[in-house]
Structure formats: structure tokens, C-alpha cells
Amino acid sequence: TLTEEEGKPTFNFKEYMVQKGASVNHALDAAVFLREPLRIHEAMRYSLMAGGKRVRPVLCIAACELVGGNESMAMPAACAVEMIHTMSLIHDDLPCMDNDDLRRGKPTNHKVFGEDVAVLAGDALLAFAFEHIAVSTIGVSPPRIVRAIGELAKSIGAEGLVAGQVVDINSEGAADAGLEQLEYIHLHKTAALLEAAGGEAAVVLGAILGGGSNEDVEKLRNFARYIGLLFQVVDDILDVTKSSNELGKTAGKDLVADKVTYPKLMGIEKSREFAQKLNRDAQEQLSGFDPDKAAPLIALANYIAYRQN
Amino acid sequence: SSPALSSQPQSIHFDLKTYWKQLILEINQKLDEAVPLQYPDQIYEAMRYSVLAQGAKRAPPVMCVAACELFGVDRLAAFPTACALEMVHEASLIHDDLPCMDDDPSRRGQPSNHTVYGVDMAILAGDALFPLGFQHIVSHTPFDLVPESRLLRVVAEIARAVGSRGMAAGQFLDLEGGPNSVEFVQEKKFGEMAQCSAVCGGLLAGAEDHEIQRLRRYGRAVGVLYQVVDDILEEQSKKLDYTDESKRSKGKSYVEVYGIEKAKEVAEELRAKAKNELEGFEKYGDQVMPLYSFVDYAADRSFSFETSS
């Protein structure tokens, strides 16, 4: 989408993602283990352990480390963020919502376990996310954990993720949706966890739990908002410029569904310029921090901006 | 109507109806403020429809407030959690009523949430109410009355109660279980919420662990008692009116599984068990009376809330 800048490969982003992703997988596996009633826990684990890059949890840990915390302080929150992401996918795929049969090439949760269990597994993951942060976070003062719980709750509810889904449902087929409504959807849906690289809550939780100052937390919140929006703009551009084969999904799907997109509203060129600006704005938020510790987040912003699928 | 049980109430000196009705007024007002109508309207309308439903008895919030007051702590400390209990309870009920679950077109004599707002909105309304409950606790509980460390235990308690080892497990077994599951289903679906409500009241007030354990056993007994008596009353009214077809499928009611005489025995045992737990709170004097009166109310239904208030 964007032309690659001159590389500065002092930081190995791929290795970082693999290593942190493995820690997260290990922690998730231990947190949601098989117990009675088995079928619900199987359903929870089926979707939770289905893979994915664990971008949100890694964002959470990276933000925590950026402000001076360590991985273990953020790990329960990182897992919680992934549990909630998983829950939103399970419910989103249901027949009464997007009615998807496949997710990452595997049958969706309700296809395997039935709609009833899929609804319950989602509800259980949502609840357990909060229990896990409240019970398993160690090395962080209770007021900070309480604050993190408030942020997480806000990011899901009717001011966050769910609100985005409602507006998204309403805007389908409504080609007259304006830029303002589109940004609302993306700020509340993408940046508030739903899409692949969002994660405002992930970043903010990490910053709070890692002991960041209010100023740190707000800078990182802005960073997350910029990259969430960036992700969506790039996604929209790829949807019109790439073939289905390259994307691994149905290209032009948004056009067919008559969903509002950035290229539709402002054209491809302006959308690309907008993406450049968002990436610059995002990285600007990190300028006051230790460059070594900021490297993972900067690499992530670039990864989102320059991805080809 | 004729009383379900024959033994005499012991809390005749306490006017539960007045205490309860007063609390319902306060809780309804606080819930009205806690779930405001805002953009996107549809989701908030759906949430408010269930949370502010006419005729809700508010048993979980009232139990929470009473348990908090038992230890001499102001009810202001308990209100946010009391409201949250109602929110998560309603969220569970909305999802339980869905076509893929119990397929109930009505609740409390009104069309159920999905009947009015559609299945997609009902799922999202539930998904939004769970986190809103947690958010409400952490943003509204007065920190001068309740330290954050206690709030973490409250959040964990509620999350556990609604999750895969609590009410979600009960609903799962209710959908899939055989006749032997009746005790488990009743304990999980109906005992959990009362148990959680009593325990949260105690946690907010800083009760000692052995007192929390007593509240746990007390609440569970009262919750199951209430449901067993409901089953008995339903059976008795069926005998009077053959047209009143029971919605409950077979194997889900104590009466259907064990017969009415055995169900009455079980109810008497639960009443005795609940009161036995309360004897451990003797040192708190008359402040324990509301908790006694709940037991008798659950058993005898000596008054009704049907008047418009």
C-alpha cells in the first residue's frame, strides 16, 4: 500500500512477535484449562487457542514494558484482552449476526458446538476476562488494577466494541453514511479491539498496569487510536486494490455489502495520504519514551501501515 | 393463595415489604441513571428495556444491600455493586431467553428482549450489560467506604458467578443435561445469583472470611429455596387451572423429578439450613433481621409486589 521506508533493522520485530506470542499462548493455555462442564470449556478453548498473531496481548505487554513495567504485570490483562476479542468473534460469527461458517479456515464456534454453547462460551470468556485480571494480576497495586478493569469494561460495552457493532449493523446498505459515522465505527470497533491490530484497551491497560503516569497513559491511548484507525484505512485500501487471492479473503466484500469505506468516501490517493499521516501521528506519541523500549510499538505501527494483506 | 409450606415464619417483627419496596425505589432510580439513553440509541434502548422492566423484584441488589448493612456499613457502599448485580443478572436472562437457548418469547409477562429488538440486538445488549456492570462498580463505589482491594474481590466474585463455573454452567446443563442434573441446574442457575449477592455485600463491608463463607452458604440456600418453592407453587396452580401449561421442560423442576412431597421436604431443609447459617451472625443483633426475613419470604411468599409503585 505504502512505499517502504529505508529499513532500520536494529529491532527484529518478527522475532519479538513470535517470542511474546508464545508467552501469551502459554499463559492463555494455563488460564483457561479444561474443567467441568467440559463442553463449555472446550468451546472456550477451541476459539481462544485457534491461533492468530496475538497482536493485542503483545501490544499490552509492550506498552507495560515501555512505561517501566515487566511482562508478568501485564500478562493477565493481556490474556483478558484476547479473551474478549475471542468472545466478540464468537458472537459476531453467529447466524443472527454475520452468519460466518469459517474463521481462520476452521469451522466457527457455533458450527462445532452449536449456537447455544457458542453464546455461553462467549459470555463465559467475557466474564472470565474480568475474573482473571482481578484475581491473577500480581505486583500491581489494587487501585491500578481497578482502573484497568474500568478501562477494559468501557472498551467493550455500549460505549465501545458493542456500540461499533450496532452502528456497523445499521450502516450496512446505507451508502449515505458519512465520514463521521465511519470514524465512529472504526474508533469504537477497530480501535476498541475488534479488528486484527486494534487494541486501545490493550495498550492503555498495559500502560496503567506498568505504572505509567497519566500523561504516559494518554499518549499511549492516542497512539492506539491512531494505529487502530490506520489499520482500518489500510484494510479498506487493500480491499479495493488487491485480488481475493492475495488477501486470503473475499476482496471487494465491503463494496458488495455496501459498507462505508475510506476509498469510497475520499478516493484511493487521499486514503493513502491519510494512512501516512496516521502512522506519523501515531509514532509522534512515542517520541518522549526510551527508544529501545518504544521499538516494538514503532515496528508495529509500520507493520500495520506497510502490510500487503 | 395457600402457603406452600406449613412451618411458621420467625421474622415476624421485621417489616420486609416496606424495607424491600423502599430499596426497589432507590435501586430503580440508580439503574435509570446507570443505563442512560445515548448514542447509539438502539442498544441502550434494548439494555434499558430489560434492566428497567416493570415489576422486577430486585432480589439480588436487595440481598447485597442487606448483607452489607448487616456489618454496619452504609448502604451507599453497596449500591453500585447492587446495580451491577442486576445488570449482569439481566444480561444472563436476555441470553437465556434467546431462540437458540430457552426460546422464551416473554419474561415477566412482557415480550422478551429479542422479541422486541431482534436476536442480534439482544445478544449485543447482553454483551454490553456484563461489562457495564463491572464498569459501574469501579467508577461509582465510594473509595472512602470501600478500599480497592475489596472491589477486586467483588469483581472476581461476580465474574465467577456468571461464568463457566456458575450460571453459564447451569444454563448449559439445563439445555443438555439429563434428569439427574436438576440439583446442579437449580444450584447454578438460581443459587449462584443469591449466593453472589450476599457474598458481595459482605465483601464490600469488609466481613471476615468465615463470615463470607456463611453468607455464601446462606445465599445459595435461599436462592435454591426460592426456586423450589416456585416449582411447588406452579404445580399447585396447575392443579387448579389445567389450561396453564408449564413452560418448563421435564426434568428441570424439583417437583417433576421428585414429586411435591419431597420438594416440600427439601424446601424445609433449605429454610432450616439458611437460618442455621444466620445464627452465626448473632453478635450483629437486629441487623440480621432482613436476612432472616428473606428466608421466610422465599418459603412463604407472604406478600406480593404487584401493586404499582
pLDDT in tens, B100-151: 999 999 998 899 999 999 999 999 999 999 999 999 999 999 999 999 999 9
pLDDT of A177? 58
Query: Of the ranges A236-240, B118-122, B202-206, which one carries the lowest mean pLDDT score?
Result: A236-240
Q: How confident is the model at residue B253 (pLDDT cuts 50, 70, 90)?
A: confident
Please tell me the predicted confidence (pLDDT) of residue A192.
38
3-state secondary structure of B193: helix
CB–CB contact A96 B118 (8 Å): yes
Rounded (5°) CA angle A133-A137-A141 = 110
Q: What integer best gives the mean pLDDT of chain A?
A: 85
Rounded average pLDDT over A31-39 = 94
**pTM for this prediction:** 0.90
pLDDT at A162: 74
ipTM above 0.90, yes or no: yes
Q: What is the pLDDT of residue A5?
A: 53
- CB-based contact, A181 to chain B, within 8 Å: no
B37 in contact with A, Cβ within 8 Å: no
> What whole-number percentage of chain B has pLDDT above 70?
89
User: Is residue B242 predicted with pLDDT exceeding 60?
Assistant: no
* Residue A42 touches partner B, C-beta closer than 8 Å: no
Q: What pLDDT is stored for residue B309 in this prediction?
A: 39
d(CA B115, CA B47): 13
Are A143 and B135 a contacting pair at CB < 8 A?
no
Q: Is the pLDDT of residue A256 over 60?
A: no
Whether the ω angle into residue A37 lies within 30 degrees of 0, i.e. cis, is yes
Q: pLDDT band for position B176 (50/70/90)?
A: confident
> What pLDDT is attached to residue B248?
46
What CA–CA distance (Å, rounded) separates A245 from A40? 35
| Average pLDDT over every residue of A19-48 | 96
Instruction: Report the pLDDT averaged over residues A72-94.
Output: 95
Note whether A163 and A135 are within 8 A (CB): no
Where is pLDDT greater, at A98 or A190? A98
Q: Can you spell out the DSSP letters for chain A?
A: --PPPPP-TTS-HHHHHHHHHHHHHHHHHHHS---SSHHHHHHHHHHHTS----HHHHHHHHHHHHTT--HHHHHHHHHHHHHHHHHHHHHHHSTTTT--SEETTEE-HHHHH-HHHHHHHHHHHHHHHHHHHHHH--SS-HHHHHHHHHHHHHHHSTTTHHHHHHHHHHHTT-TT--HHHHHHHIIIIITTT-STT--HHHHHHHHHHTT--HHHHHHHHHHHHHHHHHHHHHHHHHHHHS-HHHHTS-TTHHHHTT---HHHHH-HHHHHHHHHHHHHHHHHTTTTS-HHHHHHHHHHHHHHHH---
Residue A262's pLDDT band (cuts 50, 70, 90): confident
Q: Which residue of B127, B149, B164 is in closest CB contact with A91? A: B127
CB contacts of A120 in chain B (<8 Å) are 95, 164, 168, 171-172
User: Which residues of chain A does B135 touch, with a Cβ-Cβ cutoff of 8 Å?
Assistant: 150, 153-154, 157
Say if the Cβ atoms of A123 and B172 lie within 8 Å: no
Could you tell me which residues come within 8 angstroms of residue A176 by beta carbon, excluding any fewer than 6 positions away? none
Confidence of residue B256 (pLDDT cuts 50, 70, 90): confident
Q: How far, CA to CA in Å, does A287 sit from each of A29, A219, A298, B107? A: 35, 10, 10, 55
Chosen from B98, B123, B175 to mutate, greatest number of chain A CBs within 10 A: B123
What is the sign, positive or negative, of the torsion defined by CA atoms of A164, A167, A172, A174? negative
Q: Residues B201-223: what's their mean pLDDT?
A: 97
